[in-house]
Amino acid sequence: MKKKCIKWIFGAGAHGRITLDVWRSASPDAEFHFIDDNPRMHGKIIDGVPVDGGIQFLLDHFTPADEAVVAIGYNNVRLLLGQRLENRSLILGNAIHGSAVVMASARIGGGTMIFAQAVINTGANVGKHVIINAGAVVEHDSVIEDGALLGSGVSTGGRVTIGEGTFIGAGTTLAPRIKVGQGSVVGAGSVVVKDLPPRVLAYGVPAQVVREVDKSFDWSRLL
Amino acid sequence: MKKKCIKWIFGAGAHGRITLDVWRSASPDAEFHFIDDNPRMHGKIIDGVPVDGGIQFLLDHFTPADEAVVAIGYNNVRLLLGQRLENRSLILGNAIHGSAVVMASARIGGGTMIFAQAVINTGANVGKHVIINAGAVVEHDSVIEDGALLGSGVSTGGRVTIGEGTFIGAGTTLAPRIKVGQGSVVGAGSVVVKDLPPRVLAYGVPAQVVREVDKSFDWSRLL
Amino acid sequence: MKKKCIKWIFGAGAHGRITLDVWRSASPDAEFHFIDDNPRMHGKIIDGVPVDGGIQFLLDHFTPADEAVVAIGYNNVRLLLGQRLENRSLILGNAIHGSAVVMASARIGGGTMIFAQAVINTGANVGKHVIINAGAVVEHDSVIEDGALLGSGVSTGGRVTIGEGTFIGAGTTLAPRIKVGQGSVVGAGSVVVKDLPPRVLAYGVPAQVVREVDKSFDWSRLL
């Protein structure tokens, strides 16, 4: 008997559950499994889907017909895990909600999630392991590098660049041609009118650099 | 001859007319009637639909095949009227535009309106007699209590709580896990990064409490 | 042999390319041509479509079966060119993305572009040669005059008036009933809570008038 292909979702938290809803709305009869690195989650049923185990379980059970996505809100964790899966040649899926618009001339990398009502406009280039939350607009010719996350309702002007692993909080506006350096964090509701360097926390109207994003930075309050 | 079922819209103002447009786009051949408590509206034709009378007219003419929604922008009026109709066992409809996205795991109460391009994301719980205006995003696991209103383009982070009868002005951003107390008013374009107590007016970036919302508060300037 | 009708896009820059993507998604087999007043563009191929020449080329080759749109971000240039084409009785098309919502009671003028996920709500009146960028919401009964441009993610309250040729930057919120005078510019991410006069630059939260928009104003940094 032919095994049914499985859609694996790495991360059984909020972004994993949104991804499940997104994939289910397109493929209601597919078989879904959660993977989570937190052993206390193993064996649980989340939104009707079992949490099977950690990364080793996935590597042991993944077949060439399957696809996987890393749906973890922490950018650096998502990016590292995504790269590990790529190195093992797992097929990385995309979770793009049916209401999202990806214009024909835009490009989207593997392992990237694009949630309800988001727009990836003409000529935009969205990397791998990116999360574009609901209602966010990536304007024409913008570049969203690997592992970045845009919160819900973010609007960019044209030709912005969002660095690798950068976090843009919900409702933030970026003026045209703005560049935000890799690993930076922009707080919710900010208006970015000047370029921001790598690895800084910035927020406000206009967004100002507040501190460095170093090892002491508490990512948990962003999610 | 079987009577055609009627869709009753309580309130012939802006929200009533949007609701009419929403319902018409899904059911172009249905029969619509406005109800309005302002006697000067009675007998008028609004967007092709008659304003029949006030609440007594509705109670006298409503049949079990009909449905009703209270489409009044004032939260406390909408909530009170909605509860009165519920107490009389009228069937409360929802007016959800075809472009709005309600994820499969989200829940929506009766009498609630969700306008074009809005998103109710995974696990969110939207109460009764709520208005979610166009393009607003209710993020995952958020709770919108009965009688609340979100303006167009509002974006929430995950797990926010919007209290009963609370008004969130257009374009406002709420950070993750924020709670806004019942009956409060947040002005347009605000960024809410700290919890707000019940019955206050707050606005700005970040949103600050400006005054109490007491009987002297002028709701008309919000709409 | 019957000539195939042509969709002409005046302007081979960003807004022209978005318009091409929008028209192509609805009519993948149509024949598209760019027109551009910059002679250095003539003969080039942009996103697979030739740039044929300037306005004289268009006037010489336009046939009654064709349609044209002026897709130039500069409001005054777009409006002037649009009016010139109207004076020559060219048929002005609309480029409305399939995901945009134009409610049944709203009106849209000729030559106007409405991009992905935008909303033109109940009773709104959008003029000619207007650009409504992705995800923008024009609320009920608002008036957007000829040649105006709303950036991505703009949210209006109900009954606002945006003057002729006025530019509203991305992510801006306008409170209900606000009027912005003709030819004014509102910077990205602003919150407009008081009316703005004609021909001023304003920005901030709340938006404040910063200077006049006179001949020395540099429109290029807006786009």
Residue C28 clears pLDDT 60, i.e. is over it: yes
Banded model confidence at residue A44, pLDDT cuts 50, 70, 90: very high
DSSP classification of residue A186: E
Name residues 120-149 of chain C within 8 A of B (Cβ). 121-123, 135, 137, 139-141
In chain A, the percentage of residues whose pLDDT exceeds 90 is: 93
Cβ C35 vs Cβ C52: under 8 Å: yes
* Residue B47 Cα distances to B36, B53, B66, B132, C138, angstroms: 14, 16, 20, 22, 19
Residue located via tokens 């990064």: B193
Residue B30 clears pLDDT 50, i.e. is over it: yes
* Mean pLDDT confidence for B162-187: 98
Cβ B106 vs Cβ B131: under 8 Å: no
Cβ C42 vs Cβ C67: under 8 Å: no
B38-78 tens-digit pLDDT: 999 999 999 999 999 999 999 999 999 999 999 999 999 99
* Mean pLDDT confidence for C92-103: 97
A151-181 tens-digit pLDDT: 999 999 999 999 999 999 999 999 999 999 9
> Measured between alpha carbons, how far is A138 from A133 in angstroms, rounded to an integer?
11
pLDDT value of position C208: 98
Q: HSE, CB side, 13 Å, CA atoms: give it for residue A190.
A: 24
Whole-complex ipTM: 0.96
pLDDT value of position A220: 86
pLDDT value of position C1: 45
CB-nearest partner of A223 from B156, B173, B176: B176
Q: Which of A1-15, A155-169, B70-84, B137-151 bottoms out in mean pLDDT, i.e. has the lowest?
A: A1-15
A113-126 tens-digit pLDDT: 999 999 999 999 99
Contact yes or no for B140 and A18 at CB 8 A: yes
Q: Which residues of chain B does C174 touch, with a Cβ-Cβ cutoff of 8 Å?
A: 170, 188
Banded model confidence at residue C220, pLDDT cuts 50, 70, 90: confident
What is the distance in angstroms between the CA of the first residue and the CA of the last residue of chain C?
Answer: 42
Triad B129, B130, B132: Cα angle to 5°: 150
Catalytic residue (choose from C15, C97, C129, C140):
C140
Look at residues B66, B64, B88, B69 and name the one whose alpha carbon lies nearest to residue B79: B69
Determine contact: C153 vs chain B, CB below 8 A: yes
A181-200 tens-digit pLDDT: 999 999 999 999 999 999 99
Residue B1 clears pLDDT 80, i.e. is over it: no
Banded model confidence at residue C2, pLDDT cuts 50, 70, 90: low
Q: What is the mean pLDDT of chain C?
A: 96
Q: What is the mean pLDDT of chain B?
A: 96
> Measured between alpha carbons, how far is C166 from C183 in angstroms, rounded to an integer?
4
> Measured between alpha carbons, how far is A23 from A18 in angstroms, rounded to an integer?
9
Secondary structure (3-state) at A125:
strand
* Residue A19 Cα distances to A13, A155, B93, B174, angstroms: 10, 22, 29, 22
Query: Cis (ω within 30 of 0) for the bond into C206?
Result: yes
In chain A, the percentage of residues whose pLDDT exceeds 70 is: 99
> Measured between alpha carbons, how far is A52 from A36 in angstroms, rounded to an integer?
8
Residue C188 clears pLDDT 50, i.e. is over it: yes
Determine contact: B208 vs chain C, CB below 8 A: no
Q: Which residues of chain B does A186 touch, with a Cβ-Cβ cutoff of 8 Å?
A: none
Reply yes or no on whether B61 is catalytic. Answer: no
pLDDT value of position B4: 77
Residue C79 clears pLDDT 60, i.e. is over it: yes
pLDDT value of position B150: 98
Contact yes or no for C188 and A205 at CB 8 A: no
Banded model confidence at residue A1, pLDDT cuts 50, 70, 90: very low
DSSP classification of residue A188: T
Q: What contacts C9, CB < 8 A, 6 or more positions away? A: C16, C19, C20, C23, C32, C33, C34, C35, C49, C68, C69, C71
* Mean pLDDT confidence for C29-38: 95
C117-159 tens-digit pLDDT: 999 999 999 999 999 999 999 999 999 999 999 999 999 999 9
Determine contact: C195 vs chain B, CB below 8 A: no
HEC assignment per residue over chain C: CCCCCEEEEECCCHHHHHHHHHHHHHCCCCEEEEECCCHHHCCCEECCEEECCCHHHHHHHCCCCCEEEECCCCHHHHHHHHHHHHHCCCCECCEECCCCEECCCCEECCCCEECCCCEECCCCEECCCCEECCCCEECCCCEECCCCEECCCCEECCCCEECCCCEECCCCEECCCCEECCCCEECCCCEECCCECCCEEEECCCCEEEEECCCCCCHHHHC
Name residues 65-94 of chain B within 8 A of C (Cβ). none
Pairing verdict, β B6-10 and B31-35: parallel
Q: What contacts C134, CB < 8 A, 6 or more positions away? A: A101, A119, A121, A137, A139, C97, C115, C116, C117, C118, C152, C153
Banded model confidence at residue A4, pLDDT cuts 50, 70, 90: confident
Banded model confidence at residue A2, pLDDT cuts 50, 70, 90: low
Cβ C112 vs Cβ A132: under 8 Å: no
DSSP annotation string for chain B: -PPPPEEEEE--SHHHHHHHHHHHHH-TTSEEEEE-S-GGGTT-EETTEEB--SHHHHHHH--TT-EEEE--S-HHHHHHHHHHHHHTTPPBP-EE-TT-EE-TT-EE-TT-EE-TT-EE-TT-EE-SS-EE-TT-EE-TT-EE-TT-EE-TT-EE-TT-EE-TT-EE-TT-EE-TT-EE-TT-EE-TT-EE-S-B-TTEEEETTTTEEEEE--TT--GGGG-
Secondary structure (3-state) at A90:
coil
In chain C, the percentage of residues whose pLDDT exceeds 70 is: 99
- Cβ contacts below 8 Å, chain A against chain C, sum to 106
A76-97 tens-digit pLDDT: 999 999 999 999 989 999 999 9
In chain B, the percentage of residues whose pLDDT exceeds 90 is: 93
Residue C82 clears pLDDT 90, i.e. is over it: yes
Determine contact: B205 vs chain C, CB below 8 A: yes
